[in-house]
Structure formats: C-alpha cells, structure tokens
Amino acid sequence: MKVDEGHVPVPGGNVWYRSVGEGGVPLLALHGGPGAPSDYLKPLEQLADRRRVVFYDQLGCGKSDIPDDRSLWTVERFMDELDAVRDALGLDRVHLFGSSWGGMLAMQYVLDKGRPPVSMITAGSPASSRRWNEICQELLDELPDDERETIERLEAEDKMLTPEYEEALGPFYRRHVCRLDPWPDYVVRSFDRMATPIYHYMAGPSEFRIIGTLRDWDVMDRLGEIRIPALITCGEFDECRPVHTREVAERIPSSRLEIIPDASHLCFAERPEVWMPIANEFMAAAEA
C-alpha cells in the first residue's frame, strides 16, 4: 500500500503528516487531546484499501514543530491549520474524521469555515464542554469509593501532574478510554508523547473537568446548521457517554448514530471489526 510522509507549512510552523493508500475520496483524520499525537489512530489505516487515509500531528505535538507560544493554541488557529493541510495535500474533496477533541474541531470547522467536507465522522466527541464536565462527573461518582476518593484527594492537593495521579486514573482509563488489555503500542505511544502544555492550557489538568481555554466551548445550539452527512459514534462505555452522543446526533439533521458495543472512547481501535464496516458504508453512501 502506498505510504507517503512529510511536513507541510501551517500557521505557526510545520506539521508532520502520513498518507496511506491512494484513490477514492480521501479521509482526513483529526486526533484528540488537544495534544495527543496521531499514533493511536493507526487502526484507521484499515480503511486505506478503498481510499487514501491521511493523518497529521497538530502543531505542538508528535513529529510536528513544537513552538513555545500560547497564542497559537486557539480553535481558530487549529481550523486554519486544517485548511492549510487540505491545501498542501490536495484534499479539496474529502471526508473528515475527528476523535474526541478532533471531533470538536471538526464540528466547529464545518460550522464556520464554509468549506464543507463530503461527510463528517466523529468518535467520542462532545459538542459542549459543560456537558462533558457533567457526564464525566457522573462517571467519577460511579467509581468505587476507594478509587474516587483517591482521585478527589489528589485533585484537592493539586497533585494532578504527579505519577501518583496518573496511576490513580488507570482503572478509569481501562474502563472508559481503552478497554483493550494490554493497550496496543500505538495507544501507549500517544499517551507517552502527550503534549501536556497544550492539553493543560486548553482542556486542563483533570480528565473530568474542562477548565482551560475550552471551558466555555459549546456548539450544541448550532448543530442544526450542519448540513452534510454525519456519522456520530461512541463506545458503550465511552467517557463521552452515549447519552450525550445521542444528543449530538439528534441535533444534526443528516446524521447517523452508532454506539459500539463493548467499547469505550477508542471504539474504532477496540472494535474495528464493527466500526470499520460502518464507516466504509457511511462514506460510500455520502459519496453517492
């Protein structure tokens, strides 16, 4: 299968990309975080037997430039970055995929940029920071008492940047982020190379509350403006709970909701035998 890698210029620096496969209407994949490199999206290469699949590390993480400039970490600049990647790689007619934060970025891009893709696919992506905080608090409340109390104690002691806090989150991650055991190398790589300065600045140090610059981000009331086919997916045990994913799908006129059983936040990696055929069928229908 044809593979191409390189760097392209975007506002603020250069970003690394990887292109797998050729032909068809390409799929451009947006990773989460903000600041989680695209390694964990590797399962999407399975879609490259029918189309070109393109990944890139957003500025500030992975193999892309890592400037020390907080003024670059805005939703608007990340949308301009997406435009620059499309232009550089000839992705005018394209499907757009977003995981978690990548799906948030995709929704905002479709709403604001006036350059709609053929379709949009999201996986575990909220449409409101406020709702994310609410549903994650529900998950925190449902944890066993000892796990919840340890997490709350460490947060109260401002120890969210310590190995102890990371260890305390382990059981939550294994239930609601990735249920594969052990975690695949490509998932581990993304977590190990997380660009924490961007993540903490835009989202915050806690997994359960968005308190950074994205704290007021909300497109719930605008979802009805999305007029392209949209596939909204999540896992049965996703930290972006199905109750909210359903809210998102219900507000987008031409949407399809798929809740992947026995999966969580990385549903496309946990249950590829379920997720990939759904994505292929959806994109084929959108093209038609």
Rounded Cα gap, residues 80 and 65, in angstroms: 16
Tokens standing for residue 66: 């890592």
Q: Is 265 a catalytic residue?
A: yes
Rounded Cα gap, residues 288 and 107, in angstroms: 22
Rounded Cα gap, residues 199 and 204, in angstroms: 6
Strand residues in the chain grouped as ranges (E) = 3-10, 13-20, 27-30, 53-56, 95-99, 119-123, 230-235, 255-260
Tokens standing for residue 43: 């399962």
The catalytically annotated residue of 19, 38, 64, 100 is: 100
**Residues in Cβ contact with 238 at an 8 Å cutoff, skipping those fewer than 6 apart:** 124, 176, 245, 263, 264, 265, 267
Which of helix, strand or coil describes residue 117? coil
Residue 172 CA to its chain's centroid (Å): 18
Q: Is 200 a catalytic residue?
A: no
Q: Is 100 a catalytic residue?
A: yes
Rounded Cα gap, residues 174 and 184, in angstroms: 12
The catalytically annotated residue of 238, 244, 255, 264 is: 238
Residues assigned a catalytic role? 100, 238, 265
